[in-house]
Structure 1
Amino acid sequence: MSTGLLPYEVSPNLPFILADHIAYAIKRKEQNIVVHMPLSFDVRQQYPVEFKIGEYALRIIRKRLNVRLPAHETVGIAMAFINNMADSDSCELAEEFGTDVYDRVLEESTIAVERRLGIQVDREGFDYARFATHLQYLFNRLNSGESIVSDNRKMYLSLKDEYPVASACADDIASVLSRLTGQELIDEERLYLMMHINRIASKAR
């Protein structure tokens, strides 16, 4: 199924999945249940089109159902699209690289972090889960030829000097990605890697 906005096909089951997600979101709203979306920043930066679709969906729900869902539900709706990419020619991730390659990227990147920082990464921890999710999104983008468009290169250059070890670690991961996918990372991508690396490092101290 094509949305006309996304560079990939989505599963034909997506409408039912979205309806189910929205129904539960409304039920949570009625019962004052708050579900935190810790990946909000990541999704907004790495999947801007899906995030905008989520924002649009919340406006439609408010207009047609007179229900004002919390802003973080935008992420849940965006994730429904991200997690339901159809197995088609437009979804090149599984076909070109494959899950086994992503697994190698994650494992080798984790080892690079441990070696460079001299730490043992808690692979059951929340910050590692965010790091792994970020790498998966990054892997998707590299495979589809997309990249982050931002004005953060100056920030990268500044933080590169302030956190030279994290920067070197991001360069190590960039080398892993280059070797396994044939794609190079722009500075903004390295910036986000540095942020995740610093989170992991701070918890290991």
Structure 2
Amino acid sequence: MYEITKVINNNIVCSIDSNGKEIILRGLGIGFQKKKRDCIDKEKVEKVYRIADKEVSSKLQELLEEIPLEYVSTCTDIIDYAKQSLTRRLNDNIYITLTDHISFAIERKNQNLEYKNALLSEIKSFYPKEYEIGLNAVEIIKERLSVELSCDEAAFIALHIVNAELDTDMCNMVSITEMIQSIIEIVECYYKKELKKDTLHFDRFITHLKYFGQRVFQNKITKDDDMTFQKMVREHFVKEYECAEQIRNFVEETYHKRITEEEMIFLTVHLRRIITES
């Protein structure tokens, strides 16, 4: 049995788990004609949300109060599917951001208003796993809610998932994606060749650039005092280091962010791998 601490609506209530932590419970009619301190059977609960951050939990409660139950359950299943498909932890904030986004996307679709995703090709290329989840999400929405969303929306969903993986905000995520595309263009221009996109080293390079972008926009500085290794990389991979310098100049001039020598060395090593393969 769960004891209710707060009724959000007919289908959403709050309770306390056995560890004294606040939880949000979802189930058809579990809040109907209920009040604080009433009890509900565990069998009637369809989903338990365990949100550690109190601010996130409070915002989620506000959102769940406004959104139809079928939207909530569909979005939750999409998030659970994403968690199972990816090896990285997703920030709990995705329950707010993605649910809100999908709800709004459905409203727009019902009004014949659809947004084009300017980063569609970049998202498909840089975040293929997340984009596949986005496509799957669009199919789930079509089956459950009879609303057909476009591949542009699949890409928006993918970006929300990457955002939750990196634990950054959506504005930074868009900037990171744009920055990655610019870096790829710098590399291809410098070497006068197109990079092979369907290789393991390209995937690793993109993964590195995602976290590089996260560090840049969150002003996180990497530290590596191995001066011998840094000197060896600069001396042995001269062209790759020169390309990394062009990347550094672009990032510092465009985003006014300082790139450390440690980041330069990491970029150089990844460039060496990807150029050797291309």
User: TM-score by structure 1 length?
Assistant: 0.55
CA distance in 1, matches of 2:92, 2:204: 20
Using the TM superposition, name which of 150-159 and 114-123 deviates more: 150-159
CA distance in 1, matches of 2:219, 2:177: 20
**Which of residues 89, 99, 114 is equivalent to 1:80?**
89
1:198 matched to which residue of 2?
272
From the CA coordinates, give the structure whose radius of gyration is larger: 2
More strand by share: 2
CA distance in 2, matches of 1:189, 1:92: 19
For 2:187, the aligned partner's letter is V
C-alpha deviation, 1:174, in angstroms: 1.3
Q: Give matches, 1:18-33, under 5 Å.
A: none
2:251 matched to which residue of 1?
177
CA distance in 1, matches of 2:223, 2:182: 27
Matched, 1:94 2:101: no
Tell me if structure 1 keeps the 8 A contact 2:215–2:221.
yes
Q: State the secondary structure of the residue aligned to 2:221.
A: coil
1:108 matched to which residue of 2?
182
For 1:172, the aligned partner's letter is Q
CA distance in 2, matches of 1:129, 1:166: 18
Distance verdict in 2 for CA 1:86–1:175, change over 3 Å: farther
CA distance in 2, matches of 1:201, 1:177: 21
C-alpha deviation, 1:158, in angstroms: 2.1
C-alpha deviation, 1:144, in angstroms: 1.5
For 2:263, the aligned partner's letter is E
CA distance in 2, matches of 1:85, 1:163: 41
C-alpha deviation, 1:131, in angstroms: 0.9
C-alpha deviation, 1:136, in angstroms: 0.8
Give the number of aligned pairs.
137
**Which of residues 215, 238, 246 is equivalent to 1:141?**
215
1:63 matched to which residue of 2?
none
Query: Larger relative contact order (C-alpha < 8 A, sep ≥ 6)?
Result: 1
**Which of residues 120, 124, 131 is equivalent to 2:205?**
131
C-alpha deviation, 1:116, in angstroms: 1.7
Tell me if structure 2 keeps the 8 A contact 1:153–1:187.
no
User: TM-score by structure 2 length?
Assistant: 0.42
C-alpha deviation, 1:151, in angstroms: 2.4
Per-residue deviation, residues 138-183 of structure 1 (Å, max 9, x unmatched) = 1111111212222234312221121110001111111222233221
1:42 matched to which residue of 2?
none
Distance verdict in 2 for CA 1:179–1:94, change over 3 Å: farther
C-alpha deviation, 1:92, in angstroms: 5.0
**Which of residues 188, 191, 201 is equivalent to 1:117?**
191
CA distance in 2, matches of 1:104, 1:163: 27
Q: Give matches, 1:5-24, under 5 Å.
A: none
Distance verdict in 2 for CA 1:92–1:2, change over 3 Å: same
C-alpha deviation, 1:135, in angstroms: 0.7
Distance verdict in 2 for CA 1:92–1:200, change over 3 Å: closer
Tell me if structure 1 keeps the 8 A contact 2:176–2:214.
no
1:161 matched to which residue of 2?
235
CA distance in 2, matches of 1:170, 1:164: 10
Per-residue deviation, residues 94-123 of structure 1 (Å, max 9, x unmatched) = 24x341x22321122112111222322012
C-alpha deviation, 1:188, in angstroms: 0.9
More helix by share: 1
Distance verdict in 2 for CA 1:167–1:93, change over 3 Å: farther
Q: Give matches, 1:45-56, under 5 Å.
A: none
User: What runs of 5+ residues in structure 1 fail to find an aligned partner?
Assistant: 4-8, 25-74
What fraction of aligned residue pairs are identical, expressed as a percent?
15
CA distance in 2, matches of 1:181, 1:155: 28
For 2:89, the aligned partner's letter is A
